[in-house]
């Protein structure tokens, strides 16, 4: 029997190298990467079984980049959400976020809220952008919320208190040839299938995604059993 794929997560890496390889400014790579986000989201919205697509867009450690790059990425997220609203609506995609967006500018927070509110009844696909997201930060916030509510700290309660009280990740892909998790979804990746590809994110095609999904469907997922 084929594995069903409900929750796909992607560490979208390699924008900067894509641009540098072409003699372009790193920002061009981020712009090109945003086009890949649109393409992959459309693919997932058309897929039979994918319900949730979680995309790592900005980590809690990405603040350590030069201020000018951080500023550009923030503006790009704002522009992307603005231009994407029609597509979310026409493709029946709900927009959600994980991570602590309270650290963003007021105008970006507003844009995020408007996009969530406008798309909240869409139900073909949920696209979750991980924004100012860190797996450790998420777990700490979840445990603190349990302590505050005087609830028992156990696996189901932590799972519910996370930013992602959705399903575990079935398949996680990282582009750009780096074989690491970089603080992404530490809790939810426990039994995910992991795929690392050398392709830089702006070059990541729907054909490659489709091939990765085909291989995933044939894997023997044991979850510790036999």
Residues acting as catalytic residues: 13, 62
Question: Binding partner of residue 73 among Mg ion, ligand IPE, none, CB under 5 to 8 Å per kind?
Answer: ligand IPE
The CA distance from 76 to 128, in Å, is: 16
Say whether residue 202 binds ligand IPE (CB under 6 A): no
CB of 80 to ligand IPE, least distance (A): 12
The CA distance from 164 to 142, in Å, is: 10
CB of 57 to ligand IPE, least distance (A): 5
The dihedral formed by the CA atoms of 2, 9, 160 and 222, expressed in degrees to the nearest 10:
30
| Site stretch for ligand IPE (CB under 6 A), options 85-93, 96-104, 152-160, 174-182 | 174-182
Say whether residue 71 binds ligand IPE (CB under 6 A): no
Please identify which residue in 5, 8, 13, 80 interacts with ligand IPE, judged by CB under 6 A: 13
Of 169, 163, 172, 165, the closest CA to residue 139 belongs to 163
Say whether residue 182 binds ligand IPE (CB under 6 A): yes
The first and second tokens of residue 48, run together, are 């039979």
Based on CB atoms, which residue is closest to Mg ion, 11 or 213?
Answer: 11
Say whether residue 178 binds ligand IPE (CB under 6 A): yes
The CA distance from 118 to 65, in Å, is: 32
Question: Binding partner of residue 62 among ligand IPE, Mg ion, none, CB under 5 to 8 Å per kind?
Answer: ligand IPE
Based on CB atoms, which residue is closest to ligand IPE, 44 or 57?
Answer: 57
Say whether residue 58 binds ligand IPE (CB under 6 A): yes
Please identify which residue in 15, 115, 126, 132 interacts with ligand IPE, judged by CB under 6 A: 15
The first and second tokens of residue 53, run together, are 């697509």
Say whether residue 13 binds Mg ion (CB under 5 A): yes
Say whether residue 217 binds ligand IPE (CB under 6 A): no
Cα dist from 99 to 47, 128, 198, 207, 216, whole Å: 26, 10, 27, 30, 27
Side-by-side strand order, sheet with 7-11: 93-98, 125-133, 52-59, 7-11, 171-174, 193-196
Based on CB atoms, which residue is closest to Mg ion, 73 or 125?
Answer: 73
Task: Enumerate binding residues for Mg ion (CB under 5 A).
Answer: 13
Task: Enumerate binding residues for ligand IPE (CB under 6 A).
Answer: 11-17, 56-59, 62, 73, 176, 178, 180, 182
């Amino acid at each position: 029997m084929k594995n069903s794929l409900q929750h796909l997560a992607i560490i979208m890496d390699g924008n900067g190298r894509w641009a540098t390889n072409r003699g372009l400014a790193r920002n061009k790579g981020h712009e090109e990467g945003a086009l890949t986000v649109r393409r992959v989201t459309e693919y997932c919205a058309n897929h039979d079984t994918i319900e949730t697509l979680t995309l790592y867009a900005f980590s809690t450690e990405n603040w350590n980049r030069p201020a000018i790059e951080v500023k550009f990425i923030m503006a790009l997220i704002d522009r992307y959400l603005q231009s994407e609203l029609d597509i979310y609506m026409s493709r029946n995609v709900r927009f959600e976020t994980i991570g602590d967006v309270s650290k963003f500018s007021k105008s970006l927070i507003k844009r995020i809220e408007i996009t969530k509110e406008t798309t909240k009844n869409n139900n073909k696909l949920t696209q979750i952008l991980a924004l100012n997201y860190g797996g450790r930060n998420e777990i700490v916030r979840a445990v603190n919320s349990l302590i505050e509510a005087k609830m028992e700290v156990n696996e189901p309660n932590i799972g519910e208190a996370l930013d992602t009280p959705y399903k575990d990740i079935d398949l996680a892909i990282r582009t750009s040839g780096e074989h690491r998790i970089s603080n992404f979804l530490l809790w939810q990746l426990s039994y995910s299938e992991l795929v690392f590809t050398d392709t830089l994110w702006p070059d990541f095609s729907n054909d490659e995604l489709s091939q990765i999904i085909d291989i995933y469907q044939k894997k023997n997922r044991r979850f510790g059993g036999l």
